[in-house]
Amino acid sequence: MDSPFQRRAFLGCGAAAAAGLLASHWSEAAEAASPGSYLEPAREVPIVADSDVVVCGAGPAGVAAAIAAARAGARTHLIEVNGCLGGIWTAGLLSWILDAGNKPGLMREILAELDRRKASVAYGSSIGYDVEQMKRLLEELCLEAGVAIRLHTRVVAAHCDETRRLRLLVTESKSGREAWTAKVFVDASGDGDLAAEAGCKFDYGREGSGETQPMSMLALLTGIKVDEVAPMVNHLVPGQSGKKNLLAEMERAGVSPSYSGPSLFYLHHDLYCLMSNHEYGVSALDAGAISEATLRARAEIHKQIEALRALGKPWTDVQIVATAEHIGVREGRRILGRYQVSTKDLVEGARHDDAVCRVGFGVDVHSPNPQETKGIRPEGVRAKAYDIPYRALVARDVHGLLMAGRCISGDFIAHSSYRVTGNAVAMGEAAGVAAALAAASDRLPHDVPWSEICGRRDSLARP
Tens of pLDDT, residue by residue over 195-211, are 999 999 999 999 999 99
**Is the pLDDT reported for residue 1 higher than 80?**
no
Estimate to the nearest angstrom the gap between the alpha carbon of 44 and the chain centroid: 31
Residue 229 lies in domain: 218-323
Confidence band for 146, pLDDT divided at 50, 70 and 90? very high
Same domain, 171 and 152: yes
Average the pLDDT over each of 232-236, 339-343, 344-348 and give the range with the smallest value.
232-236
369 and 438 inside one domain: yes
For residues 368-392, give the mean pLDDT.
97
Three-state DSSP class for 185? strand
> Based on the domain organization, do 252 and 398 belong to the same domain?
no
Cα 394 from Cα 338, distance rounded (Å) = 6
CA dihedral defined by 189, 192, 196, 198, rounded to 10 degrees? Answer: 50
CA 184/CA 182 separation, integer angstroms: 5
Q: How far apart are CA 426 and CA 421, in angstroms?
A: 9
Residues 82 and 150 placed together within one structural domain of the fold: yes
Identify the CA nearest to 389 among candidates 408, 407, 371.
408
- Kindly state whether residues 336 and 319 are assigned to the same domain: no
Instruction: For residues 154 and 175, state if they share a domain.
Output: yes
Query: Does residue 54 sit in the same domain as residue 199?
Result: yes
Last residue of a domain, one of 272, 290, 323: 323
Kindly state whether residues 409 and 436 are assigned to the same domain: yes
CB 182 within 8 A of CB 322: no
pTM of the model: 0.93
Q: How many domains does the chain contain in total?
A: 2
Report yes or no on 19 lying in a domain: no
Nearest to 366 by CA among 425, 247, 279: 279
In this prediction, residues 250-263 reach a mean pLDDT of: 98
Q: Check whether residue 151 and residue 239 sit in a common domain.
A: no
**265, 298, 323: which is the final residue of a domain?**
323
Q: Are residues 337 and 246 in the same domain?
A: no
Fill in the amino acid letter for 429.
E
What does the pLDDT read at residue 3?
A: 40
CATH of the domain at 314: 3.30.70
8 A C-beta contact, residue 389 and residue 323: no
Helix, coil or strand: residue 303: helix
